[in-house]
Every structure is written in C-alpha cells, then in structure tokens.
Amino acid sequence: MRRRAFLTRSAPGHIIESVKNRPFGGERKPVKAGNNMELKEAVAKLKETQRVMHAYNHAMGVMYYDIETAAPKNAIEGFSNTMATLSEITYKLSVNEENFALLDYLSEHAGELDEITRREVEEAQKGLRLLRNIPIEEYVEYQRVQSEASAVWHEAKVNNDYAMFEPHLKKLVEFTIRFAKYAAPEKDPYDYWLNEFEEGFTQDVLDKYFARIKEALVPLIHRISEKQQPDDSFIYKFYPVEKQRELSEKLMEMMGIDRACCAIGETEHPFTTGFNKRDLRITTHYYENALTYSMYSVIHEGGHATYEMGNCDELMDSPLSGGASCGMHESQSRFYENIIGRSRAFCGLVLPVIKEIFPEQLEGVDEEKFYRAVNKAEPSLVRTEADELTYSLHVLIRYEIEKKLMHGELDTKDLPAEWNRLYKEYLGVDVPSDKEGCLQDSHWSGGSFGYFPSYSLGSAYGAQILRAMQKELDVEKLVAEGNIPAVTDWLREHIHKYGQIKKPAELIRICCGEDFDPEYYISYLTEKFGRLYGLED
C-alpha cells in the first residue's frame, strides 16, 4: 500500500501554498496579467510556495511514519493534536483568495508554461476544488478523527473488537460523503472518490470491469478447486523474525534497491511512504509461522519504492513526484511481487538464498515445489495473503461494501455481517473473526474510501505492461540471471521517470501503444494457472 496524506490526490503536498500567509521573508506583490516578466514572476511564486508546502508535508509524513512504526502507544494524543495543528496551517496557506487568483492566472496562461509547471497547476487546481469548499473547522476536525481512528483500528484488530472501531469508522464515512458533496455536489460521492484515486474510473466503468473479471475467473477458480493442491506446509514452519529480517535485506539487494535511499521498518499493516526519490520508507510485518507473508510484503513495498526512486531529477520535491495514480503505483508493486516475484525464474533465483538462511526448514524443497507452493490458488480469508487468481475477488468485496456505505445502504454497525456474507458468496469461505474479516485492512481507518479498486486495476495494468515489455526484453531470462535492474530500467524509461507528469491512461499508451484492456490480465491468469494446474483447453 502506498500511503499518502488525506485526500490523496488533493493532499496538502499537491496544493499550492498561499503567498499571503507564507512563512518566509520578502514583500508580497500582487499577481497581474500582463507581459512575460509577470508570468515568470507568478511561476516563481508557485515554485517557492510549493517548496514550503513540501516542507510541511515532509514533516507530517515523518510523524506519520513514526507513529506507525516506532512511537509508543500513548503517543497518539499528542500526535493527533500536532497533526490537527499542522493541518490547520496548511489549510490556511492553501485556501485563500490570493492563492486562487495566482492559480487562475497561471491556468489562463497554461499554453505558455512548460509541461511540468502546467501539470503542477492542474493538480493544484484539482486539489483546491475540494479544499476551498471545506470549512476549516471541519478540515481540522477530520484530521483529528482520522488520526484517532487509525490508532483505535490497530488496537481493535489486535483485540478482535470491531465494536471499538465502529464509531470512528462511522464518522469517517460521514466526513467522506460530506466532503465529496462539497467538492462536486453534482456527482455521486463514491464516483468522486473513485476518480480521485484513479482518474476516469466511475462505478459504471468498474461495474463492467468487475463483471468481466467474475465472468472469466470464477469458472477457472472452480475448475482449480477440483484439482489436487500443492504441498505448501514448509511455508508455515518456524522462521525466527531475526532471520527473516536478514532475508528482507537480501530481497532488497536482489531488487536493486539503493539502501542509502530506502529504509525498512515494521508495522501492523505494511505500507510505503516517500518524501522524495532519495528518501523512501517501506514497512513489513513478520510472522514466525509464515515465511512468505513478509517476503512478498517486502517485494511489494519495494516495488512502490522503486517506482518513486525512478522519478526524473526534475521532479525532486515537486508535487508531481511519486506515481501517476494509485492504480499505476499498485501496478508496479504488484508487478514486482507477482509477475516477477512469483515467476518460475525468480523462484529458482531466490530459493538458494532462502535455503542458506533457513536450511533446516527448507530441507528437501526444490525449485518446482517452491514455485508451486507460492502460487497455490485457493479461496482464503486475507487479501494480502491471497493468490493472484482469487485476489481481485477480495477487492470486489470491498468495492461492493464501499458502494453501499457511500450510498447509505449499509450502516457501519452491520458491516461485519455484510462482509461475512460476501466472503461466503464470492469465495465460499466462512469468516471466523473480524480480525480476519473486516478489520484486516488499514485503509478505511485512514479514510481511503475508493482506494481498493486500484489494487485490481494495478494488477491488470501490470499484465498489459508485461506483454509490451516482452516485445523488447526476455524478462524470464533476465530474472533468472538475477538481472532484475534491467527490468527496472525498462519500467523507469516507460513509467517511473514521469512521476505524475503523465496521467495513467497516457502512461498505458506510452508503454503499450494502446488503451487499457483488462483482457491481458485475464489471459495472463488463465495461461499461468492453466499450466500450473494442468487444465485442458
């Protein structure tokens, strides 16, 4: 999961700070329409205010990373108060008439701006469409509610106590709906947030997408359920955490991640956050009786970090740094996790490394056995542990629930029952506890309603990107040789370097020479799992 501040694409880091209240010296001058010199002056003000907003966002991001990974339990009250105060400051720096005038002026002269500056203005305007309509008291209160909700979620999950979390979730749902109506009263609230996470996607588009996914994959899942499953018992032996930390370092080295630019921490629900291309933070969670949980978590989050480290230097500290969208970010993390990390080539490459660290646990496990075990396909309870084939059904369940929450068709008190019903209907599994059910993900505690579809879309983007990459590279051979950086170089040239300069639809066309097509995803899964389970055509 790629963590961003609240409002995602409209987060403070993507908003222009006001000139009026800027905390730096110099006499304030009005922005005027006119000659080229005045345009240059306006651009200079834009860049300077972005620099200051980046500093605030950087500080808030470091605080968030600390509260999630290192801070003591009782630090939450102070953290919440500080975040609320800083959020109030960034709100005031962004939402004022002079800032609106600056952005309006630059928008009017968009044709005279370079591509990066033009996109910075577009993103700033997009963010302010929401913020300029939220009363400051509500914005500050939301920050407090969100911080508290995140802390309560951690405790509720550990204690399997949904009732503890439910009142906080209810407040977040109410805020989310209300804020969407502030920003775009003419739109369905859920459509508004879906578009914020993945531009161009609405419920109508996603309903058709998921209908096609169900149509193609559910029969395949049923056919596989009748086949003998591979032995994966060795994955659940005892694997000391300290040794798993050693494996994490090896995995990051194999991926070509520059450790001088990327740190790794530990948290309840793994995520990645970044402040610039030279300061990325990934996290993982270790289970002593589940080797591959952290292993693939590190590869997944390492994919997020690799994306941002590949941004071109011109985007350093720019609001356009990072990824084009949540779906595009997930395409890269899931590309490394699944398309590379669960490939036969990578299994052959990584198994000797793992056996060197855990020789007793993996005695008698060969490449074929390991490959089949990490690709075992069967319905399960936990999304982050789901196989590639059933994964999108986990996402679909969350999508269905979010739609109902956003439309007032589901009360938060009834969420666990609806969750359990859908898991039984779509995946045929009984949910034994809320810890393994509706409390398993951190996203809702952070207010990220509309994020989940990005995971499935990211997987589909990745399959299409792979097909395009294979026209130029022998991907399997490169991975088998340990040359994963060569794959990264291709992704950097076609995706990573652009940051948010290009929109996701543009990037797919740059990579693939055509528009997004989910049939590549369906073909990828059908071919891979058909071979794994020996299915006839």
Given a cut of 80, whether residue 206 has pLDDT beyond it is: yes
- What would the two tokens of residue 15 be? 């908003």
Nearest 5°: the CA angle 257, 236, 335 is: 35
* 142 and 175 Cβ atoms separated by less than 8 Å: yes
Cα separation of 123 and 115, whole Å? 12
Average pLDDT over residues 84-109: 89
Band (139; pLDDT cuts 50, 70, 90) = confident
The residues, ordered by sequence, that sit 6+ positions from 122 with a Cβ below 8 Å of its Cβ are 107, 110
Tell me the one-letter amino acid at 280.
L
Given a cut of 70, whether residue 303 has pLDDT beyond it is: yes
Q: Give domain limits for the chain.
A: 8-185, 203-532
The residues carrying an active-site annotation are 301
3-state SS, residue 7: coil
For residue 446, the 8-state DSSP code is G
Average pLDDT over residues 423-452: 95
3-state SS, residue 378: coil
Cα separation of 386 and 375, whole Å? 10
Q: Select from 42, 41, 52, 61 the least CA-distant residue to 17.
A: 52
Band (265; pLDDT cuts 50, 70, 90) = very high
For residue 262, the 8-state DSSP code is E
Looking at residue 35, what is its pLDDT? 57
- pLDDT over 90 for what percent of the chain? 80
* 350 and 360 Cβ atoms separated by less than 8 Å: no
- Domain 203-532 in CATH 1.10.1370.30? The answer is yes
Average pLDDT over residues 397-410: 98
Q: Which of 79-88, 126-135, 456-465, 509-518 has the lowest mean pLDDT?
A: 126-135
Looking at residue 536, what is its pLDDT? 64
Could you tell me which residues are beta bridge partners of residue 283?
Answer: 265
Q: pTM higher than 0.95, yes or no?
A: no
